Amino acid sequence: MKIALICDWFHPRIGGIEIHLQGLAESLQAAGHQPEIITATKEFGRAYGFPVHRLDVPVKTRFGFISSLSAFRQVEFLLKKGSFDVAHCHGSILSPLAYGSVYVAKKLQIPTVVTCHSVLHYYNLLFFLLDRLFGWSKWPVLFASVSPSAARIMSKAGRINQVYVLPNAVRESSWRRPRLSRPHDDLTLISVMRLSIRKRAYVLIKMMPEILRLAGSRRVRLIIVGDGTQRSFLTRLIKRLGLQEVVELAGIRSQQEIADAFSRADIFVLPTNQEAFGLAALEARVAGLPVVGMRMSGLQHLIEDGKEGLLASDDDEFVRHLAALIQNDELRERIALHNRTVSTIWNWQFSLARHLEIYENARREFGHGQSKKEPSR
C-alpha cells in the first residue's frame, strides 16, 4: 500500500506524535509498503528513508499551527499526485492541518483514517458544536485513538460510534543499555514530558520536599527532560522551594541521550492524568526502570501494577508509591529486573499489524476513489 501520513508536526520537533510517525513510517517501509509524510514543520536537513513533504506555508511558531489555507491546496496537490491507497491523519486536541486534511482526503475519495493522540476530556461541548457545524462524525472516515481508555473518551466527546485503537510502540533494542553502577544511597528519578500545564510537572516538583523527607538519609535528585511553555514558571518554582540542587530541567534531548540518561537513573515518574498513551513511560519500562504513574491515564494499559511499576489513584498515593521504591531496594530491583528481561507486548510488530488491519478496513469500506488497486491479501 501507499500511505500518506499527515500531521501538523514532525522532526525536528520532538514529542510522542513525532516519534510515533517516524516509527510507523519505518515499520511500514520495512514491511514493503510506501509511506510518505506530509507536515507543516520546517526542514532541518536530515534525510529519511522515506519521503517527507514539508509544506511551504507560514506557521505559528509557538504551537506549530498552520496560518494559511494554502496548506490545504498543497495537501490536495500532493494527495492527487501520489495516488495514495490510504490517508492517515494524526492529530492532538487542536491540529488544523491534520483535521483539515481529513476533509481534503474525503473530497478526493481516498480511504481515510484519523488518529487522535490526546485525551479529549473536557472538550465534549467543543466537539459537539464542531460536529453540528461540519457533521464530521458522519464522514466516511475511520476514527482511532492510541489506547482503549482514550478511545472511550474520544467516542463520547466526538459522538463517534466506533473508535479503533492504534497504539504507539517501541523498538526494545533502541532502549536497552547496560546498567551503570552508582552509590547505593544516591537515587535518580527521571521524567520525560512536554513542559505544559496538562503534563503536571509543577505537581511533581511540589512533591519533592515530601519525597526528600520520606527518603531519609538517601540522596534523591530529579531530572525532567523536555521543554515547553511552563519552563520559566518551573524554574522559578524550583528556586522558591529551594530545590536548585535537587531538580534539573534538562531541556530537549535526543532519543539516544534519553536512553543513556535512563541507564543512569533508578525510577521513571510521570504525574500526568491526561496521558493518552505514555510513550516515554513505555520506553523507560523497556530500558529497565520501574515506572510510577497515574492509574487513570493511558499507563494503565502499559504498566502492570506491582510488576512493571506502581500506579496511583491520586497524588498522595503517587508520593507513597515513590517513597516505597526509594526505601525498598528489594522491591525496586525486582521490578527493574523484570523490566530489563521481559519484553513488552507494545512493540512495532503488534502495532504495525493493527495499523495494516485498519488500513484494509478503510479500503474495503471507502475504497471507491482514485485508488483502484485490490487490497493486498
Cα–Cα distance between 331 and 348 in angstroms, integer? 30
Q: What is the pLDDT of residue 127?
A: 65
What pLDDT band is residue 121 in, cutting at 50, 70 and 90?
low
Instruction: Decide if pLDDT at 265 tops 80.
Output: yes
What was the pLDDT predicted at 125?
62
- Asked if residue 335 and residue 272 are part of one domain, the reply reads yes
Residue 323 has pLDDT above 60, yes or no: yes
The answer to whether position 371 is within a domain reads no
Comparing 103-117, 127-141, 210-224, 288-302, which segment has the lowest mean pLDDT? 127-141
Report the percentage of the chain scoring pLDDT > 70.
93
Mean pLDDT of the chain: 91
Same domain, 190 and 128: no
Answer yes or no: is 374 within a domain.
Answer: no
Mean pLDDT of 275-287: 96
Alpha-carbon distances of 199 from 94, 113, 205, 270, 274, rounded to whole Å = 16, 27, 12, 8, 7
Between these two residues, 59 and 269, which has the higher pLDDT value?
A: 269
Angle among Cα 32, 98, 26 to the nearest 5 degrees reads 25
The answer to whether the bond into 271 is cis (omega within 30° of 0) is: no
328 occurs within a structural domain: yes
Confidence (pLDDT) at 110: 96
pLDDT above 60 (res 369): no
Query: Cell numbers of 283, please?
Result: 520506553
Position of cell 520495512?
A: 30
Q: Are 297 and 272 in contact (CB under 8 A)?
A: yes
Q: The domain spanning residue 36 has which CATH number?
A: 3.40.50.2000
Residue closest to 10 by CA, chosen among 156, 361, 86, 50: 50
Q: Assess whether 123 and 207 both reside in one domain.
A: no
Shared domain for 143 and 7, answered yes or no, is yes
Does residue 347 register a pLDDT over 60? Answer: yes
Quote the Cα angle for 90-63-352, to 5°: 20
In a domain, 282, yes or no: yes
Top-confidence residue, 287 or 93? 287
In this prediction, residue 331 carries a pLDDT of 97
Phi, psi of 224 (to 5 degrees): -115, 115
Residues 16 and 135 in one domain: yes
Q: Could you tell me if 321 and 352 lie in one domain?
A: no
Q: Do 146 and 185 share a domain, yes or no?
A: no
The pLDDT tens digits for 149-188 are: 888 888 877 778 889 999 999 999 999 988 877 777 899 9
**Residue 126 domain flag:** yes
**Domains held by the chain: number:** 2
Continuous H helices in the chain: 16-30, 70-82, 96-107, 124-134, 148-158, 201-215, 231-240, 255-263, 279-287, 299-302, 315-327, 329-341, 348-366
Can you give the residue range of the structural domain that contains 244? Answer: 172-341
pLDDT tens across 21-74, in order?
Answer: 999 999 999 999 999 999 999 877 778 889 999 999 999 877 788 988 999 999
Dihedral angle at the C-alpha atoms of 164, 372, 70, 9, nearest 10 degrees? 40
Please indicate, yes or no, if residue 24 is contained in any of the structural domains: yes
> Model-level pTM?
0.90
Residue 278 lies in a domain: yes
Rounded Cα gap, residues 127 and 121, in angstroms: 11
160 and 275 within one domain: no
The amino acid occupying position 349 is: Q
Q: Are residues 123 and 243 in the same domain?
A: no
Residues 161 and 178 in one domain: no
- The reply to whether 376 falls in a domain is no
155 and 176 assigned to the same domain: no
Instruction: For residues 223 and 282, state if they share a domain.
Output: yes
Cβ burial, residue 291 (10 Å; 0-12/13-18/19+): buried
Q: How confident is the model at residue 124 (pLDDT cuts 50, 70, 90)?
A: low
The vertex-327 CA angle with 323 and 333, nearest 5°, equals 105
Q: What is the pLDDT of residue 376?
A: 37
